[in-house]
Structure 1
C-alpha cells in the first residue's frame, strides 16, 4: 500500500517537474500543448507555453514564436491608424474651407474602428497563452474589434454616399448600428458562446459584413456607378472586399501550412497572411474615404443639402 502511494507521489512529482520545464521554455511543440491551445495541427512548433502571467505573456512580444507576426502586424497597424487619426484631425479642417466637424466625426468613426480592431487583435494574440480563461475573453475582444471595424467603416460611406438623402442615410446607419449591437452581444455573452450556436454567431458576422452591399447597390441605382467611384471611392471598397474575402478564404483553408505541414510554423502561415490582408484592406478603405472627401469638397464644394448631425436626426 505504501509502495503504491510512493509511486503516485513520484509520478505527481515528475509531472510537476515536466510542467515546470515546459513553462521555462520560450517555445514548445504541438504535442506539448494542453488541448485548449491545440488549434492548427499543421503548425508543429513555435508555440508559447501557458504562462498564467500577463507579464510573461507580454514579454513574449520581444522574441520570435508563431504568434509574433500576428501580434506585430496588427500592433503596427493600430499604431499607424492612431497616427493617421492625428494627421487627419489636424489636416481635414484646413484642407478645404467647406470642411466641417461632420467630416472629422465620420473619419473618427473609421479610425476608432480600425484602432479598436487591430489593437484588440494584437492584445488577444499576446495574451492567448496566459490561461484558458484569459484566452476565452481575449477571443471575445478579438471578435468585438471586428464589429467595431465594420461599423466604423460603414458610417463615413453612408455620409458621403447619401449626402442628398438624409432619411436613407439614417435608415442604413440605424441598420448597421443595430446589427453591430446584436453581433457584439452574440460575441461576448456566454449564452451565445456554446458550440451549438457557432453557426448562429457566424451568420451574424456574415450578415453584418454583407450589410454594406445593400446601400452600395442602392446608391448605384440612384446615382450610377461612375458617380460612386468619385463620391465614395467604390473601386477601393471593392478592393477592400476582395482582400477581406481572400484573407478569410486563406485562413479557413489553412493554406499554405496544410500543404506543407511544419514549414510555415513561424513565417507565412494562413493566419499571418490573413492579418496582413486585413491591414491592407483597412488601408484601401481609407484611400477610398480620402478620395470621397476630396471629391465632396473640391468638385461639389462640400455637403450643402445634408448636415450629418443637424438634419438626419431631426
Structure 2
C-alpha cells in the first residue's frame, strides 16, 4: 500500500519517521532514545488523520477486518506528536497547513485532564492587551471575585457575631441578677433597670440594674431578704453595728476612768462616733426605695446619713485632739477645742444642706484642717499623745479621704458600666474603707486615752520635763 492509496487527507508527521505498512498502519521509529515502536492508523476517510494505536489495538482491528477504518479520525491538535510542524505527504499539497480547530500554537497539552486546551496567550509587545489577555483576565477575575466574596462574607459574619455578642452582654446583666437572686432564695423578686427608677435615684449612671421596686415601709424592710444593688451597702454597715452593740465595753478603758467625768465624756463620744455612721447609712440605703414622699423623703434620708458621718468626723477625733493638746496650758487647750467645735458646727450646717456628693464631702474640710493642725502639734516638742498610735491617727483620715474620692469619681464602675451593679462598685469600696478607717480610729483613741490616764498630771510631757 502506497501513500497515495491512503487518500489526500492522510497526514503524518515525517519528523517522527512514520512508515506506512500494507495494513494501513504507520510505524514510528525509536527516535526518542529507544522508545518502543508505536503504530498509528492512517485512514483514507475524508477529514481523517493519524491516530495512535498500541500493538494490541492494531492486531484487533486487523483481525476484525476493519483495516483500521473503524477508528475515528482525530483533528490535528489531538496528535500525540510533539512536532513543531505538521505537513501534507502529498507533493501537490506540501504547503497546505493541516486543518482543525486552530493552529498548534493555539493549544497546549493539559497533563491533568490529558486533553489539549486553548492556550492563554500573552499580548505581543506594543499591542493592546485587552484582547490578548481576555481569557486570563476572565480566569483571574473569577478567582479574585471568589476570594473577595469569601473574605467579605467572612468579615460580615464576624461583625454580625461580634454585634450579637455585645448585645448579649448588655442584656445579660439583668439576667444574671435574676439567676443569682433565685440561687439566693430571693423569692423571684423582680429587680428594675435604672430607666425605670425616679430621677432622684439615678445618681450613679454607671449602675444600670439591680434596683428594687418602690414600696412601703415593710417592702423596704423585706428587701433585706434578697439580693439587690444596695444589699452590700447595707450589710457592710450592719455588721459593725452588731459588733459594737455586743462589744462596746471592750472599745474603751472604762475601768481605768471610773469616776472621771471628763474622760467618761470622751469615752461615750468615742462609742457614739463608732456606731453613728453605720446607723445613718443603713437607714438611708434600706429606705431609699420608699414610695412615699419622692425626692423630699430622699433628701431627709440623705440628711440622716450625713448627720451620722458628721458625728464620726467630729466626735471621733476628740480623744486624739485632747491628747495632742494635753501638754499645753489649760487656756490653750480651751481655745483649741473651742475653735474645733465652731468648725464642727459649720460643717454640720453644710452637711445638712449639701446637694451633691462633692459638696457633702467638702463640708468637713474645716474639721479636717483642724485635725491636721493637731497632728502637727502632736509631732512638735510641745505636743502630747501616744507615739505608738501615730500611724493609726494618720490612717483614720487617709482611708476616709480615699474612700470619699473613690465614691465621687465612680471608680471602678465607670470603666465597666453595668458589670459591677451588685458587687464592688465605688460605693461598696467606700463603705469598706470607712469601716477600716474607724478600726484605726478605735486603736488611736484607746492608745491616746491610755496615754492621758498615765500622764494625767503631765509628768510625761516633753515641755514639763525640760523645765
TM-score range, shorter chain: 0.7 to 0.9
CA contact under 8 A between 2:325 and 2:374: conserved in structure 1? no
> Of Structure 1 and Structure 2, which has the larger fraction of its residues in strand?
2
* Larger CA Rg, structure 1 vs 2: 2
- Judging changes above 3 Å, is the alpha-carbon distance between structure 1 residues 284 and 201 closer, same or farther for their aligned structure 2 residues? closer
Is it true that 1:270 corresponds to 2:426 in the alignment? yes
Is it true that 1:83 corresponds to 2:83 in the alignment? no
CA contact under 8 A between 1:158 and 1:169: conserved in structure 2? no
> Of Structure 1 and Structure 2, which has the larger fraction of its residues in helix?
1
Deviation, structure 1 residue 194: 6.2
Matches of 1:168 and 1:82, distance apart in 2: 36
Matches of 2:367 and 2:393, distance apart in 1: 16
Matches of 2:354 and 2:408, distance apart in 1: 20
Report 1 or 2 for greater relative contact order, CA contacts < 8 Å, sequence distance ≥ 6.
Answer: 1
- Judging changes above 3 Å, is the alpha-carbon distance between structure 1 residues 111 and 26 closer, same or farther for their aligned structure 2 residues? farther
Residue of 303, 311, 321 corresponding to 1:158: 321
Q: Name structure 1 gaps, 5 residues minimum.
A: 1-23, 307-314
Matches of 2:257 and 2:418, distance apart in 1: 57
Instruction: Encode CA deviations 1:91-150: one digit per residue, 9 max, x unaligned.
Output: x243x4898443332121121122112111111111111142221100011111111111
SS at match of 1:221: coil
**Corresponding residue number in structure 2 for 1:114:** 274
Matches of 2:429 and 2:241, distance apart in 1: 17
Counterpart mapping for 1:280-299 below 5 A: 280-297=436-453
**Corresponding residue number in structure 2 for 1:237:** 393
Matches of 2:206 and 2:439, distance apart in 1: 30
Bigger mean CA deviation after superposition, 202-211 or 285-294: 202-211
Matches of 1:199 and 1:258, distance apart in 2: 17
SS at match of 1:222: coil
Matches of 2:248 and 2:239, distance apart in 1: 14
Matches of 1:249 and 1:115, distance apart in 2: 22
Is it true that 1:214 corresponds to 2:373 in the alignment? yes
Matches of 1:164 and 1:125, distance apart in 2: 43
Q: Name structure 2 gaps, 5 residues minimum.
A: 1-187, 460-467
Counterpart mapping for 1:1-314 below 5 A: 26-51=190-215, 53-88=216-251, 92-94=253-255, 96=256, 100-130=260-290, 131-165=294-328, 166-188=330-352, 192-193=353-354, 202-223=361-382, 228-230=385-387, 233-297=389-453, 301-305=454-458
Deviation, structure 1 residue 66: 0.6
- Judging changes above 3 Å, is the alpha-carbon distance between structure 1 residues 58 and 133 closer, same or farther for their aligned structure 2 residues? farther
CA contact under 8 A between 1:114 and 1:282: conserved in structure 2? yes
CA contact under 8 A between 2:251 and 2:271: conserved in structure 1? no
Matches of 1:116 and 1:237, distance apart in 2: 20
SS at match of 1:212: helix
Matches of 1:283 and 1:303, distance apart in 2: 25
CA contact under 8 A between 2:324 and 2:377: conserved in structure 1? no
Q: RMSD of the TM alignment (CA)?
A: 2.6
**Corresponding residue number in structure 2 for 1:6:** none
Deviation, structure 1 residue 153: 1.2
Matches of 1:85 and 1:43, distance apart in 2: 36
Deviation, structure 1 residue 178: 1.6
Matches of 1:291 and 1:80, distance apart in 2: 20
